[in-house]
Chains A and B, each alone.
Chain A
Amino acid sequence: MAARLFDKVWDRHVVASPEGEPPLLYVDMHLVHEVTSPQAFEALSLTGRKVRRPDLTVATMDHDVPTIGLDEPIADPLAALQIERLAANCAEHGITLHALGSRQQGIVHVIGPQLGLTQPGMTVVCGDSHTSTHGAFGALAFGIGTSEVEHVLATQTLSQVKPAAMAVTVDGELPAGCTAKDLVLGIIRALGVGGGAGSVIEYRGAAIRALSMEGRMTVCNMSIEGGARAGMIAPDDTTFGYLEGRQHAPKGAAWERALDDWRSLVTDAGAEFDTEIRVDASALRPAVTWGTNPAQSVAIDDVVPYPEAAPTPAARQAAERALTYMNLTPGTPIRDIGVDIVFIGSCTNGRLEDLRAAAEVIRGRTVHPGVRALVVPGSAAVKAQAEQEGLDQRFIAAGFEWRSAGCSMCLGMNGDILAPGERSASTSNRNFEGRQGPGGRTHLVSPAVAAATAVAGHFAAPADL
């Protein structure tokens, strides 16, 4: 029978299908960080349970780590305690930890792929909703809560109701100046912020195939912003080329065996999806969000929308609320909106390709005097490679702050935050009220638009400069 990629990966991980209960699914890799794990480890202690598979568990520190002054003690006592607690828990249970200050530390969704720990056909979970990133490799990867973190630590499995399968087919070719970020913002605009709920998305079509692994990770990363449980892309030569030679990728004969298997991880001809949407890549333009959820975006050439144009009374009410919070007037050209802060980083757009794209835009230019701009690499390894290429010097010369790796201003846990009323152009994934700091106003954009905006002082595409 014709099967979908999602079915193939799901089926090979079903450990048990008890009568009247959801199937029990095996977890191939469990990623752990400091914020959603302490209560899970504590529960293990209270019940006297052990970590079943420390060899299938890897930890890092990313959510509330400082991105400056790494030589000094962590100033925030709560963050310091959480970071100490993770180190102690990993030591107690024999879990590999890429600690703050080590060469492989970084945002959990950047280091997994970078180390070759994310491979096609695997199940990957983490106490973080952007775990969907790893689906770019044809893995089934999704975020879980702390009780489930405890469950995976203790059993290496999860009890999971099988989601529906949704196809998002992106035909055509992205226009020049349009990136994976613009593509995924366009998809979420079409899907709605809850449109993917209960589903695993498979991204298909020519525009998806044409993306680099970094671009595919950006797309899968934001699957959760459309409400989807996970996003997947069938592996191909782009995937295998990225993986070959990485630290934890199979080697020699094992690589060949793995490749044989991975090539089978495609949706069979004739397989049907529960739902399907189609997006025309050639119609997309660089995107800027105007509201307080990631589905509320327009093209940079457009204006702040009129709530009256919203399709339903609820959507209209939400738009009015969002515009009040964002302090925006309908009809204002997006390019006329000035920003205070530009943030380049996060698990969405903190990889080397993203930093290169931003660095290209600012070549020979400087940050607008009214703007504070910072670059936070997604991992220590991304930072080291960018420095080897001289990108750090270009950012610093242009007036950017060059930071160390972490989640930073994406969620503002580490003190990198917006002041009330400040407006940002951010390459991160969420523009919720207060996401980057209480009262802060976030606009989501691509790294290229973020860099151009830093130079212009208002929203701008690179071609405008």
Chain B
Amino acid sequence: MSGVKRIAGRAVVVLRSDVDTDQIIPAAWLKKVERTGFGAGLFEAWRKDPAFALNRPGAEAARVLISGPNFGCGSSREHAVWALQDFGFQAVLAPSFADIFRGNAISAGLVPAQVSDDAVARLAAVLADAPDSEVVVDVAARTVSVGAAVTESFQLAGYAQWRLIEGLDDVGLTLRHEAEIAAYEGQRPDYLPALP
């Protein structure tokens, strides 16, 4: 996985709260055994509405999605992150994220940038007037800006930020602790279940 330091491109604004992963990628798409090719299913039902933000000309070049609180709630499907990435998104800005979605995003290299409700409102206002503006997400500085008009800071835990910027192999990171894992396994209670 390659690292992501700076993202620049158009943004799409979907101002709804509690956007669940069934909306992001419906279950019918989960039968695939690959990680790729989910972009066509992204927000499949909502895209049937011609007025939906993702149908606006130019949206196919968007890199940043801006949405409401509790983004990514519901199912644990990482396919939701893959669908956003396959469409072209590299960051999602929202006032809060569902826990599993945030973990999946960081694992897969999609930046879950937590911004305030007010910041979402200010960004949405600027983009309503100038929808083709370039939005820049600086992962290292933890800021998002639209031209000179507005700059907002976002929250992203330090360890998550480091993993995203470096694009690290999480399994490889953990295997640095191989000796501790083996030592732990040596003292687990004998009554815990194990399969034959």
Contact = CB atoms under 8 A, between A and B. Distances in A.
Interface of A: 15-16, 18, 20-22, 24, 26, 28-29, 35-36, 38-39, 42, 47, 49, 54-58, 63-64, 76, 78-79, 81-82, 85, 95-96, 116-117, 119, 122, 127-129, 131, 142-148, 150-151, 154-157, 159, 161, 163, 193-194, 197-198, 224, 227, 229, 248-250, 254-255, 257-258, 261, 293, 314, 318, 321, 411-413, 430, 432-435, 438-439
Interface in B11-67: 16-18, 20, 22-23, 26-28, 30-35, 44-45
Interface stretch (B72-80, B83-91, B131-139, B148-156): B72-80
Interface stretch (B2-10, B93-101, B122-130): B93-101
A197 B76 contact: no
A145 B185 CA distance: 24
Contacts of B22: 411, 430, 432-435
A278 to B, nearest CB: 23
A129 B100 contact: yes
7 contacts: A28-B188, A36-B76, A49-B171, A128-B75, A151-B174, A227-B99, A413-B30
B195 A197 contact: no
A432 B191 contact: no
B70 interface: yes
Contacts of B185: 26, 156
Contacts of B17: 314, 318
Interface string B106-143: 01100000000000000000000000000000000000
Question: Which among B75, B169, B177 has the highest number of chain A CB atoms within 10 Å?
Answer: B75
Contacts of A438: 26, 44-45
Contact of A24 (B30, B31, B177, B195): B177
A155 B174 contact: yes
Contacts of A412: 27-28
B175 A155 contact: yes
A430 B74 contact: yes
Contacts of B159: 20-22
A194 B114 CA distance: 15
A150 B98 contact: no
A411 B76 contact: no
B49 to A, nearest CB: 12
B193 A145 contact: no
Given A20-B159, A129-B75, A150-B171, A15 B184 contact: yes
A211 B80 CA distance: 35
Given A18-B177, A47-B171, A144-B100, A36 B74 contact: no
Contacts, number: 197
Contact of A55 (B18, B20, B194): B194
Contacts of B26: 434, 438
Contact of B192 (A24, A122, A163): A122
A145 B33 contact: no
Contact of B99 (A42, A85, A229, A248): A229
Contacts of A117: 193
A147 B18 contact: no
Contact of B81 (A42, A78, A145, A434): A145
Given A15-B177, A58-B195, A227-B99, A35 B30 contact: yes
A361 B184 CA distance: 51
Nearest to A126: B76
Given A85-B33, A131-B76, A145-B104, 6 more contacts: A35-B77, A55-B196, A145-B103, A146-B79, A413-B31, A430-B74
A157 B178 CA distance: 10
A381 B96 CA distance: 41
Contacts of B177: 15-16, 18, 24, 157
A145 B100 contact: yes
A154 B173 CA distance: 12
B103 A144 contact: yes
A421 B68 CA distance: 27
